[in-house]
Structure 1
Amino acid sequence: MVDFSLGEDLEALRASVREFAHDVVAPVIGDYYERHAFPYDLVRQMGKMGLFGLPLPEEYGGMGGDYLALCVALEELARVDSSIAVTLEAGISLGAMPIFRYGTEDQRRHWLPKLTSGEALAAFGLTEPGAGSDAGGTRTRAVLDEETGEWVINGSKAFITNSGTDITALVTVTAVTGTNPDGSKELSAIIVPSGTPGFTVQPGYSKVGWCASDTHELNFDNVRVPAANLLGERGRGYAQFLRILDEGRVAFAALGVGLAQGCVDESLSYAKQRHAFGHPIGDYQAVQFKIADMEARAHTARLAYLDAASRMVNGREFKRQAAIAKLQASDAAVVNAREATQVHGGYGFMNETPVARMWRDAKILEIGEGTSEVQRMIISRSLGL
């Protein structure tokens, strides 16, 4: 028999994060969202709860858990707000995990305790104005100055999460460091600490959603960092970030499921309160069926991410399952957000309601960490097409 129960520890984690999301995040996040302000106080509290160290070993300040624990926490946070959830997701999946997976022991011991405590954030500089899904279009370059033993970096990155906060400690940057024997670009990953001369963080974007998360364009003008800041092997940057994105898609799927389930939560509550023609609107079959379909989408997407996460933590191949989970969860989030807005009627179009935030936040889930088209490409290739 297949058992989808999570066990006592994960259920305890779920309950703890759910309480934090409802009691601490929900009452204040709308104000942060409307002001486009980063919720430093909430991030600090998440750090004290150990959430930023969930899947990382205790020797580096982590909680000694795994990606399934991270996914459970992300789902519960996103049921209330996606900005705070993506801050955690990117802080771990794209910030700390590259250091843990590919860093030297010195790099791990220097950076990870700060990141797992939530005292600092790290970002992952992959996307560029002309290179998103097509990493081969990367133009940022890093040249090794043999005389000084430093990398000299020039270029720019776009749409980078957690890259410009007051507590951002570093950005891991992918850059062209040479040419491969077959003529393709040699890509490597390099750690650039915040405040390095020539490294400029541009003003934050005006975004449709995720308005309480931090997103910036980054510029690198003759930025010099030690050769020892190379992350992993030279020329392996492409393979490294593919693995990081595979893992990140599992976490991203959990975030999408949280948003989809949050739409169910809000719609159920509203359907019981709102009366029309003498009855709660939840008494009408049209509303009942709409909410039933929303629940089915969230449940199905949850099973997909649980499968991908289980495969991952057990050392099994999970690339296709991660793509499926991300595709299903983002679709469920977008459709459920639209339907939840419909259930709420005019109130769903008012920014002070949670479903309005969810509607604005949902679309990026079909774009970030690999578009839906990229997920379909991964799935079809894995089938031999």
Structure 2
Amino acid sequence: MKLGLQLGYWGAAPIPDAPALIAAAEAAGYEAVFTAESWGSDAYTPLAWWGSQTSTIKLGTGIAQLSARPPTSAAMHALTLDHLSGGRHILGLGVSGPQVVEGWYGEPFAKPLARTREYVQVIRDVLAREGRVTNDGPHYPLPYPADAPGSTGLGKSLKPITHPLRADLPIWLGAEGPKNVALSAEIADGWLAIYYTPRLADMYEQWLAEGFARAGARKTRDTFEVAATVQVEITDNVAAVIDAYRPSTALYVGGMGAKEQNFHAEVYRRMGYADVVRDIGEKFLSGRKDEAIAAVPDEMVLETLIVGDEESVRGQIKHWEQAGVSMLMVTTRDVDQITRLGTLV
């Protein structure tokens, strides 16, 4: 089992003491540190800024949103950071959701699977630098068609000026549903899993197997990374930790997405919490946030949480490893917890 530090995206202000957290993770032997973006801070600037103070830990986006930048721009970001870090970049990508894509970026959300496939292929073509980059797909045509609205007809195919350090720079995909997970296994090098629960490991493995069985799949199960974001807390006060994470569970299940389409809520429905999800959603969307938080049962929080004393945590980590997870992307913001966890793995 490898460890990653998931710093995520900023709230109202930058993450306090982020350099100290990253330094502790690097000293404790963590494999990677990850940043994210939503509709505030971006994923790349903090990663480059903080990453410049490191020397061995890998630097990953977990995730960079597809709609935030064209695929050629994402490739430019990736090859630049890969050079600056000496080949330590992991490019984690995800489609986000319709509220963010259409409401923040002003882009259509339709056909996320097709868009992801096309986006990743353009990035790989840039990184391969085998010729001028072209794309005939409907989502990211290159060059922009001469007969398309607003076109000057002067666009030309290009290849990157800068030679990428690695043509095989790892690309991991954030995915929650069966089709997205299967696509990750087919075209990517890893799966960034959120709200993973070992209880459903057999189901996840079926989704992955479907992707690996497709013609042209890049990896096998043995060479594919499954990196799961998880809250890990070493403590004797399990109840306090559950209470601390109950609000975030309510937020993502009830408020991070439209009533008609919330991918996080769907994950918990698959876990068997359909009635609870409905109750939380109704309360949250009607403004009764305190009631929504109170409606989250302990077992729902524990599905995606590793908590207990050192012996218990060590055993739970082993359980997650046996379930198929190769990296735990821990969300703790405490230097002591980061260091103690490093000694257990």
Please, what TM-score do these two structures have when normalized by structure 2? Answer: 0.30
Higher relative contact order (CA 8 A, sep 6+): 2
Q: Which protein is richer in helix relative to its size?
A: 1
